[in-house]
Structure 1
């Protein structure tokens, strides 16, 4: 239902960290990937009468799969049951295909990036309707956007701006000021500059397609005349705006360019030779792997292989590698590192907060968790080792 932004990210990262091609399963043997959460939002925006729409505790329309299933008499979602999710998702897809076939087939075609990228005309900057949770259910999750530029480092990504918003800051601010308003602004102060990934099955409609769905009759929460004026203002400064937004996203990417190797999933594709090395190393026993040497094209894979061995077969580490692994783990547990700011000190604070709750203070699990933290401190020779509370 919502696998592309959730499940797929877990799967890709786990494959990458364990030295497998993170993408091959998505395209080999004629495979593709698709999910339908944004399709459900598109149906709500453009064909709302064909389904029943449940609401949450605040009275707003909810797109949670279990709520949609209940409201439309589909198979019930069973908690923590993956097969149940699949069965209900298929039933919802069939319902949409039956009741809104044009939207269904449109979105199904957009699972292929080669059908998405031609929609972005950076010469004419023709506006598009973009359906996404970014815009909120009060706007039917839909906004008119203008394509501004291709992302500076990712050719499948296009930078767009929400035309319902005032473009003046984008026109007048420096790239560093725009970056602050995009990546570090408080809620309500953020500039509605965003990226659309052609390989993530976005819902995009051209103006002609939106007219076919009767968009003029729908209340999508924006002033059409003002949106058109905003489009003209951005078109008049197209080259300058494109330069600035590319610098904004290039600078943001640089913040992660020297990150930990485990954060570099999107730093590039696996080379053909490295892929062959992956196949080779996964055929080896732990003992054989400890003696093997690989000349990876991507130097990050050397560190990933070391950590993979340390996590799975620590008994195969030599003395120097054991010291190296202990230093790495010690650093992670005391400083958090680039991947996670949480440390054992944060863990201790959480335990103290739980113990302050009289209903949980005597739970044996809390003692077990404290003992685990003490064991980690002792194992990796960390200072200020603490003993579990009696």
Structure 2
């Protein structure tokens, strides 16, 4: 299967409210040799305010973001989807992509009325090169050179790791350059630690991860927190109820006979304590798994190989205990409130119905004057909102007065907010304050970028105030 390495540059770090500005991807063969590539940019959404920090890092100027010669976001995502679909099936790999770039891409597809799960459906699978580099630091320490911080802690930032391993990363934070850097690191691991590379790829598919957990009895799960590795010897309990992409697994360092005697309330209390005794393995998110015999023995401590096998067998043969552990894990699971903002409801709103899927496909095929009627037929409120927003940006005259006025009022209400809710959108006021603070200590290059952004923000604020007075 081919690989698709990809990266994005964005207006900020909120996957719900920021937008992709630059997208790059390179398709390679099994030997990581380039076959094809794509690099695209788009102009700024009228309802999105870029973070001054993001522009300072990427070197993008506000003039570039407003360039009318660039396609709009909708047009760029359409082209990205067409290319990635043409390249499929493939293994999609980014750097820290599962937490960031993948989420941005999914939400961008959904906002433009496309099926969002492109990278892990239709024969595609996904992995994260950050995980690969972290695993190399633990299981193949001579494979890559890694920078360290002042306290001796390892640093896994792409713009520091790639140059240390022979890649000329002068254009760091450019999407295409970051893709090339990611491929370079993958080539290093593949060449110097082929077994680790194969293990990494093996668990890029949900089915392989699930089968491994079910067949092995006990496995070693490695997770990184604040760039530090933690190893857990675990055995599968069973699938997480209501989630086919996760398996619950018990940390085997705990005595199972003692657990079996605990009353239900005490078991729930014990399971709910930190660190987690029952770990949730996301089988569709490239988990870091290894057979007990494939890791150094010191990572198994305080258990020995025989004791691990005995405890795994004890758990396997006690369906009542497994059922009680699953029940306790569910009882103590953290409840996540549904966001009130439609931009963050991609997962909470359920899957799109077949009838709405047909309307989504139809939306892209008809003339603009017919698209508003198609949007209003959609049963999913999220899709109606996103569809109206696309039309408002591309051809606002197609919307009726009520929808056009509502979208514009909603946009300006957010833009002019003195303080937006935490981890949501960037308001003009917040961006201006941050810009002026950053200008105080900026070097000449960044100062020029920030000064241009400041002028833009002031102009938008004046426009918004004038509109408010007119109302």
TM-score range, shorter chain: 0.7 to 0.9
Residue 112 of structure 2 is aligned to residue 22 of structure 1: no
Matching residue of 1:203: 288
Q: Distance in 1 between matches of 2:170 and 2:422?
A: 37
Residue 282 of structure 1, CA deviation: 1.0
* Structure 2 gap ranges (5+): 1-93
Residue 333 of structure 2 is aligned to residue 244 of structure 1: no
Asked if structure 1 preserves the Cα contact closer than 8 Å seen for 2:219 and 2:233, the reply is yes
- What are the residue-to-residue correspondences of 1:160-309 with 2, within 5 Å? 160=249, 172=266, 178=272, 191=276, 195-207=280-292, 211=293, 213-216=294-297, 219-220=298-299, 223-224=302-303, 237-249=321-333, 252-253=335-336, 255-256=337-338, 259-266=340-347, 267-292=349-374, 294-309=376-391
Asked if structure 2 preserves the Cα contact closer than 8 Å seen for 1:150 and 1:246, the reply is no
Q: Distance in 1 between matches of 2:112 and 2:413?
A: 21
Asked if structure 2 preserves the Cα contact closer than 8 Å seen for 1:286 and 1:316, the reply is yes
Matching residue of 2:107: 13
From 386, 394, 401, the equivalent of 1:319 is: 401
Relative distance call for 1:358 and 1:5 in structure 2 (3 A) is closer
Q: Distance in 1 between matches of 2:470 and 2:280?
A: 42
Matching residue of 2:231: 142
Asked if structure 2 preserves the Cα contact closer than 8 Å seen for 1:129 and 1:206, the reply is yes
Structure 1 range deviating more: 152-161 or 373-382:
373-382
Residue 351 of structure 1, CA deviation: 6.4
Asked if structure 2 preserves the Cα contact closer than 8 Å seen for 1:45 and 1:142, the reply is no
1:174-217 CA distances to partner (integer Å, 9 max, x unpaired)?
68x94xx7xxxxxxx7657653321222221132xxx2x3421x
The structure richer in helix per residue is 1
From 133, 142, 158, the equivalent of 1:49 is: 142
Asked if structure 1 preserves the Cα contact closer than 8 Å seen for 2:359 and 2:375, the reply is no
Relative distance call for 1:372 and 1:145 in structure 2 (3 A) is farther
Matching residue of 1:186: none
For the residue of structure 2 that corresponds to 1:300, the secondary structure is helix
Relative distance call for 1:368 and 1:84 in structure 2 (3 A) is closer
Structure 1 range deviating more: 329-338 or 295-304:
329-338
Residue 87 of structure 1, CA deviation: 2.7
Residue 283 of structure 1, CA deviation: 1.8
Asked if structure 2 preserves the Cα contact closer than 8 Å seen for 1:75 and 1:91, the reply is no
1:71-92 CA distances to partner (integer Å, 9 max, x unpaired)?
3334546313333333332232
TM-score for both structures, normalised by structure 2: 0.62
Asked if structure 1 preserves the Cα contact closer than 8 Å seen for 2:368 and 2:395, the reply is yes
Matching residue of 2:424: 340
Residue 149 of structure 1, CA deviation: 4.9
Asked if structure 2 preserves the Cα contact closer than 8 Å seen for 1:126 and 1:146, the reply is yes
Residue 297 of structure 1, CA deviation: 4.9
Residue 115 of structure 1, CA deviation: 0.6
Residue 324 of structure 1, CA deviation: 1.9
From 223, 237, 260, the equivalent of 1:132 is: 223
Asked if structure 2 preserves the Cα contact closer than 8 Å seen for 1:150 and 1:158, the reply is yes
From 441, 447, 457, the equivalent of 1:369 is: 457
Asked if structure 2 preserves the Cα contact closer than 8 Å seen for 1:12 and 1:23, the reply is yes
Asked if structure 1 preserves the Cα contact closer than 8 Å seen for 2:432 and 2:454, the reply is no
Q: Distance in 2 between matches of 1:262 and 1:67?
A: 33
- What are the residue-to-residue correspondences of 1:65-144 with 2, within 5 Å? 65-74=158-167, 76=169, 78-121=171-214, 126-134=217-225, 136-137=227-228, 139=229, 141-144=230-233
Q: Distance in 1 between matches of 2:211 and 2:315?
A: 23
Relative distance call for 1:324 and 1:77 in structure 2 (3 A) is same
The structure richer in strand per residue is 2
Matching residue of 1:387: none
Q: Distance in 2 between matches of 1:382 and 1:345?
A: 20
Q: Distance in 1 between matches of 2:285 and 2:372?
A: 38
Relative distance call for 1:84 and 1:349 in structure 2 (3 A) is closer
For the residue of structure 2 that corresponds to 1:224, the secondary structure is coil
TM-score for both structures, normalised by structure 1: 0.73
Matching residue of 1:154: 243
Residue 165 of structure 1, CA deviation: 9.1
